[in-house]
């Protein structure tokens, strides 16, 4: 399972403090994609799911994990193992996918079904830069849906409607920005 980026402690990729991981590779080509460097299936850091689970569970103070990309469902087998293990340990799982939830369920893909079964929240649908969403936190465009698949979250919670979040870090001499799909949108 190739990872393009890991941010072990973020509040910009879902509710609470989260361990966010971006997979490398996406079959979609949404115009204005926030992460074009993660589109190619080549690259990324090969990562063992069990080692990743151990790293996640050793991270203090997190509420859950967020799975982003690239396209997480393109790596459903490995991510399903990770998601199920961290959920069993009491953490929540949030998935961002460019496919609709209905389309994913209609596939009949056992790995995708296992991944969805281990998710508490799903943001679904392709990013559309012509429909920026400035009312729902953590959502890039108005055409995207937000689904609570378990009782872990109430979508009426004010955290889901707060302003957009942007985090900037200096990591190994590089500036890493996450949390706000600003590309093509301009600054507010």
**pLDDT > 90: what percent of the chain?**
73
Q: Is the pLDDT at 79 greater than 70, yes or no?
A: yes
Q: Is the pLDDT at 181 greater than 60, yes or no?
A: no
Q: Judge if pTM exceeds 0.75.
A: yes
Sheet strands (E) in 75-183? 92-96, 121-124, 145-148, 167-171, 174-178
Q: Is the pLDDT at 145 greater than 50, yes or no?
A: yes
At residue 146, the pLDDT reads: 96
Question: Phi-psi region for residue 45, left (φ > 0), alpha (ψ -120 to 50) or beta?
Answer: beta
Task: Give pairs for 39-43: CB < 8 Å, separation 24+.
Answer: 39/70, 41/2, 41/74, 43/2, 43/4
50 contact partners, CB below 8 Å, separation of at least 6: 81
Question: 2-178, which class in CATH?
Answer: alpha beta
Backbone angles phi, psi at 149, to 5 degrees: -90, -15
* Average pLDDT rounded to a whole number, residues 59-83: 98
At residue 184, the pLDDT reads: 43
Mean pLDDT estimate for the chain: 91
Are the CB atoms for 149 and 120 separated by under 8 Å?
A: yes
β partners of residue 132: 141
């Amino acid at each position: 399972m190739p990872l393009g980026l890991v941010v072990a402690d973020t509040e910009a990729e879902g509710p609470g403090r989260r361990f966010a991981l971006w997979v490398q590779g996406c079959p979609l080509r949404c115009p204005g994609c926030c992460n074009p460097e993660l589109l190619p299936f080549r690259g990324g850091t090969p990562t063992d799911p069990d080692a990743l689970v151990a790293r996640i569970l050793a991270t203090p103070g997190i509420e859950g994990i967020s799975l982003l990309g690239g396209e997480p469902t393109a790596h459903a087998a490995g991510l399903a193992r990770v998601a199920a293990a961290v959920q069993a340990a009491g953490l929540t799982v949030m998935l961002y996918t460019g496919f609709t939830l209905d389309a994913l369920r209609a596939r009949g893909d056992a790995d995708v079904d296992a991944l969805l079964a281990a998710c508490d929240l799903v943001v679904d649908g392709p990013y559309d830069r012509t429909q920026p969403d400035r009312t729902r936190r953590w959502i890039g465009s108005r055409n995207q849906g937000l689904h609570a698949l378990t009782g872990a979250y109430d979508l009426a919670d004010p955290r889901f409607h707060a302003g957009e979040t942007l985090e900037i870090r200096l990591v190994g001499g590089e500036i890493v920005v996450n949390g706000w799909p600003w590309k093509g949108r301009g600054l507010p």
